[in-house]
């Protein structure tokens, strides 16, 4: 398939919607970047399973969620991108468990948990994007990660086959998932604990208030730019355990650093913002410059938490 040649896909096999040259960059949280050759929004899990089975295995294929923690590079994305929309956003409560589609917003899952008097999932309200993306990176906030609440993840293989992965199958580490890259997450089962609704709601309200006061959520931004350094990395360079990525950014002059239309937020130095006219390259160059400065000054590599996708 070359540059969205939709004729290579038998669209009559599917109920979902195909879009050529889809402006993904403008739909991302950063509101900049290129297009996808072909975008497919499946109608349901069966529609997606057929597509995965029929789509040529040698062709590029990528699944994207809410695009909250990614930069779509200016050259765009070759092949086909799958987006899981409303048909994959259902949320169901059973006791202290929540079944959520991969397209469900993390914040919506948190809200459903609060309404049902289920504690332990409030942290999801502090994670932008969808369940699928949170699974793929073991997303976390305020001291809790996906691995702490996950019972099972439902997936489709590259051949369209269905499987359920338990916690051990996911190979979770800090901001990392070891599940095969070729699988597509379609849902998850999370478990919390029964609590008074008022207590859970109060914690959710506190998280939302903290996020609003400390993060540039009204700007064109994404999630955290860099993962926090590990204790071992910090020990190796003589910095205190618990030193955060934003502190490293500040140590190397990141507070006033701007490249093109991209700069680090004054509100939180681990968040990049598009000041209005940034291209994707500005954002990536800004991050790379900070990585270089931290390494040159401290011998520590900051690791991107934001995914950079597509061609420059």
Catalytic residues: 175, 224, 305
For residues 99 and 188, give the distance between their C-alpha atoms in angstroms, rounded to a whole number.
6
Tokens of 12: 């009559």
Residue 202 to residue 185: CA distance in whole angstroms: 31
Which run of H or of E encompasses 291?
helix 280-298
- Neighbour-count burial of 212, counting CB atoms closer than 10 A to its CB (0-12 exposed, 13-18 middle, 19+ buried): exposed
Q: Cα(265)–Cα(209) distance, rounded to whole angstroms?
A: 18
Eight-class DSSP state of 304? B
Eight-class DSSP state of 226: B
Q: Map tokens 């008022």 to a residue.
A: 198
User: If you ran DSSP here, which 8-state letter would residue 305 be given?
Assistant: -
Query: Coil, helix or strand for 277?
Result: coil
| Residue 193 and residue 165 in contact, taking contact as beta carbons nearer than 8 Å | no
Question: Is the Cβ–Cβ distance between 44 and 65 less than 8 Å?
Answer: no
């Amino acid at each position: 398939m070359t540059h969205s040649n939709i004729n290579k896909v038998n669209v009559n096999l599917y109920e979902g919607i195909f879009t050529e040259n889809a402006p993904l960059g403008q739909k991302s949280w950063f509101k900049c970047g290129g297009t996808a050759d072909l975008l497919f929004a499946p109608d349901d899990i069966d529609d997606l399973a057929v597509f995965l089975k029929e789509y040529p295995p040698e062709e590029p294929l990528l699944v994207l969620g809410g695009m909250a923690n990614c930069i779509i590079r200016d050259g765009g994305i070759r092949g086909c991108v799958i987006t899981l929309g409303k048909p994959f956003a259902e949320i169901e409560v059973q006791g202290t468990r929540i079944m959520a589609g991969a397209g469900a917003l993390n914040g919506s899952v948190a809200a459903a948990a609060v309404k049902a008097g289920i504690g332990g999932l409030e942290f999801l309200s502090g994670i932008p994007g969808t369940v699928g993306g949170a699974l793929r990176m073991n997303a976390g906030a305020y001291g809790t990660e996906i691995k702490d609440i996950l019972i099972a993840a439902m997936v489709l293989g590259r051949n369209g086959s269905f499987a359920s992965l338990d916690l051990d199958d996911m190979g979770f580490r800090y901001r990392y998932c070891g599940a095969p890259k070729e699988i597509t997450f379609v849902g998850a089962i999370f478990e919390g604990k029964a609590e008074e609704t008022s207590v859970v709601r109060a914690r959710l309200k506190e998280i939302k208030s903290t996020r609003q006061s400390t993060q540039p959520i009204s700007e064109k931004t994404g999630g955290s730019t860099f993962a926090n350094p590990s204790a071992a990395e910090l020990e190796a360079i003589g910095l205190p355990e618990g030193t955060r990525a934003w502190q490293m950014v500040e140590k190397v002059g990141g507070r006033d650093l701007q490249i093109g239309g991209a700069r680090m937020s004054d509100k939180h130095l681990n968040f990049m913002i598009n000041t209005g006219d940034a291209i994707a390259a500005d954002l990536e160059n800004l991050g790379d410059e900070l990585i270089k400065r931290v390494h040159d000054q401290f011998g520590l590599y900051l690791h991107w938490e934001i995914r950079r996708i597509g061609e420059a």
